[in-house]
């Protein structure tokens, strides 16, 4: 018979002879066994136990709706929890630090810059003068309300609003009823400026505490999908500040546009074969795009004459996200698989099948060489190197994940349909604080 021992980190194969007549057969089995072990070691040493037990640190049953989550410091994070509410949460214990009511329907993501949180929305506001931090909450008599797009910033430490302005196509912050066409606004950051791209195809750029728009532009197409290219880069910190230079969108005219945030100029555009559902930049002149049919393509955007598809591969179903990891392109698909793709050749490095559809972008932890992906009631911690599942969280019955988690102070903070929950594979923050 054949035995396999591990000694001093090395594999040692041996044959226990069962009789002379069986020597040849045993030798043949040994050769087959050694060959299979060399080719497929995971079959023999698949991980059945996880390297560290994840501990639930705290749970807060905040009822959430279309939740967004971000942070700019290790002590707290922020939730866009309802149509008109923003909350700051203490990362040590999950308790609420402050709540800010925006006074209108939030119709954008939010971004954090220089200790301020920015959000855009629609509200009924009266008046024909510029709002600022001193007067925008004052009532204005004898004036009828109008439906407005606003951009507001809130101090991240206190929740106190410190700036608010209204957006107008003419280039100044005045009250004009322009909110009807934009039911969704995408926010990004370029240096000290914040830009807004409305689903109607209107682009604006503004700086805090300035009374004029830096940039106003209208594109020929309305926006179907928006791609924040720079935020796809690897993040090995606890924070989610954006430093946006380029963005892209897929229009209802079935055209893909690459835009510079500084000037709003279209620096590249082409007609892809299918609806683009995801995109990421992997170098100054190349993008990876995924589409609804499952095609993943490397596009050379330096070619101004026509689209230059360097390579294109077909995966099992529509692509829900693509991320540049440095080791390759991480792809989630509606076929329940997550893939790592070689960005130079388009070849598959590995793939891993999970139990449900992958709708949200993974959280990549660079210094751990792992990522976290959620589907339905399970969160998987997976190795970037080989796709091995390192750990798993399963929620209670009737609970499910509703967005990508954040990583703060060695804690993984997950938004769920029942609230927010924190896990850690080391000591929870409150335990570390108590021992100081």
For the stretch 112-127, pLDDT in tens is 888 889 988 876 554 4
Give the residue from 279, 347, 343 showing the smallest Cα distance to 313.
Answer: 347
As to burial, measured by CB atoms within 10 angstroms (0-12 exposed, 13-18 middle, 19+ buried), residue 44 is exposed
196 assigned to some structural domain: yes
- Give the three-state DSSP class for 63: coil
Point out the domain boundary residue: 166, 195, 218: 218
Q: What is the pLDDT of residues 16-30, one digit of tens each?
A: 333 444 555 555 555
For residues 253-278, give the mean pLDDT: 92
Residue 16 maps to a domain: yes
Helix (H) or strand (E) segment spanning residue 136: none
Total domains in the chain come to 2
Mark which of 218, 247, 265 sits at the end of a domain: 218
Looking at 29, 46, 63, the residue that finishes a domain is 46
Domain assignment of residue 160, yes or no: yes
Average pLDDT over residues 393-414: 89
Nearest C-alpha neighbor of 62 from the set 103, 26, 90 = 90
One domain for residues 115 and 194: yes
Bigger pLDDT: 45 vs 163: 163
Q: Are residues 36 and 106 in the same domain?
A: no
Phi, psi of 29 (to 5 degrees): -60, -35
User: What's residue 306's pLDDT?
Assistant: 59
Predicted pLDDT at 182: 55
Residue 133 lies in a domain: yes
User: Is 358's pLDDT higher than 50?
Assistant: yes
Look at the block and give the residue holding tokens 């197409």: 221
Compute the distance between CA of residue 167 and CA of residue 64 in angstroms, rounded to an integer.
Answer: 28
Same domain? 196 vs 116: yes
Q: What percent of the chain has pLDDT over 90?
A: 34
Which pLDDT does position 428 carry in this prediction?
82
Domain of 3 in residue numbering reads as 1-46
**Residue at 234 is within a domain:** no
Q: By the 8 A CB rule, do 224 and 254 touch?
A: no
Alpha-carbon distance 416 to 433, whole Å? 26
In this structure, what token pair is assigned to residue 193? 């400026």
d(CA 27, CA 436): 61
| Structural domain contains residue 122 | yes
Mind listing the pLDDT tens digit for each residue in 206-246?
888 776 778 888 899 999 999 988 644 333 333 333 334 78
Whole-number pLDDT of residue 393:
93
Instruction: State the chain's mean pLDDT as an integer.
Output: 76
Q: What is the pLDDT at residue 254?
A: 96
Asked if residue 139 is part of any domain, the answer here is yes
Q: What residues form DSSP beta bridges with 283?
A: 286
Asked if residue 295 is part of any domain, the answer here is no
Average pLDDT over residues 164-171: 61
């Amino acid at each position: 018979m054949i035995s396999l021992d591990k000694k001093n980190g090395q594999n040692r194969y041996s044959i226990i002879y069962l009789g002379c007549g069986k020597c040849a057969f045993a030798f043949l089995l040994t050769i087959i066994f050694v060959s299979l072990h060399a080719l497929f070691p995971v079959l023999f040493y698949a991980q059945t136990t996880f390297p560290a037990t994840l501990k639930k640190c705290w749970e807060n049953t905040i009822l959430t709706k279309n939740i967004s989550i971000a942070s700019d410091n290790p002590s707290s994070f922020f939730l866009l929890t309802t149509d008109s509410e923003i909350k700051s949460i203490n990362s040590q214990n999950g308790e609420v630090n402050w709540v800010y009511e925006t006074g209108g329907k939030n119709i954008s993501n939010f971004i954090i810059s220089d200790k301020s949180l920015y959000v855009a929305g629609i509200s009924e506001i009266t008046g024909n003068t510029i709002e600022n931090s001193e007067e925008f909450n004052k009532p204005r008599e004898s004036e009828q309300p109008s439906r407005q797009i606003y951009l507001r910033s809130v101090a991240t430490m206190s929740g106190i609003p410190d700036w608010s302005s209204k957006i107008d196509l003419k280039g100044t912050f005045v009250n004009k009823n322009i909110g009807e066409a934009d039911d969704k606004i995408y926010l990004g950051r370029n240096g000290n400026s914040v830009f807004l791209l409305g689903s109607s195809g209107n682009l604006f750029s503004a700086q805090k505490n300035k009374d004029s728009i830096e940039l106003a532009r209208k594109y020929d197409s309305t926006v179907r999908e928006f791609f924040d290219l720079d935020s796809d880069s690897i993040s090995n910190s606890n924070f989610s500040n954006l430093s946006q230079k380029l963005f892209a969108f897929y229009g209802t005219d079935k055209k893909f546009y690459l835009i510079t945030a500084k000037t709003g100029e279209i620096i590249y555009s082409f007609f892809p074969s299918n609806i683009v559902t995801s995109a990421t930049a992997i170098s100054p002149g190349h993008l990876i795009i995924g589409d609804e049919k499952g095609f993943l393509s490397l596009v050379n955007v330096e070619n101004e004459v026509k689209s230059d598809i360097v390579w294109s591969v077909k995966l099992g179903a529509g692509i829900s996200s693509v991320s540049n990891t440095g080791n390759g392109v991480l792809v989630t698909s509606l076929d329940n698989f997550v893939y790592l793709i070689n960005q130079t050749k388009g070849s598959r490095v590995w793939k891993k099948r999970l139990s449900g559809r992958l709708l949200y972008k993974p959280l990549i932890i660079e210094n751990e060489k792992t990522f976290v992906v959620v589907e339905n009631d399970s969160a998987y911690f997976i190795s970037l190197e080989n796709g091995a599942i390192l750990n798993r969280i399963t929620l209670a019955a009737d609970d499910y994940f509703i967005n990508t988690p954040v990583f703060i102070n060695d804690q993984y903070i997950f938004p769920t349909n029942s609230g927010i929950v924190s896990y850690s594979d080391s000591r929870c923050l409150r335990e570390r604080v108590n021992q100081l």
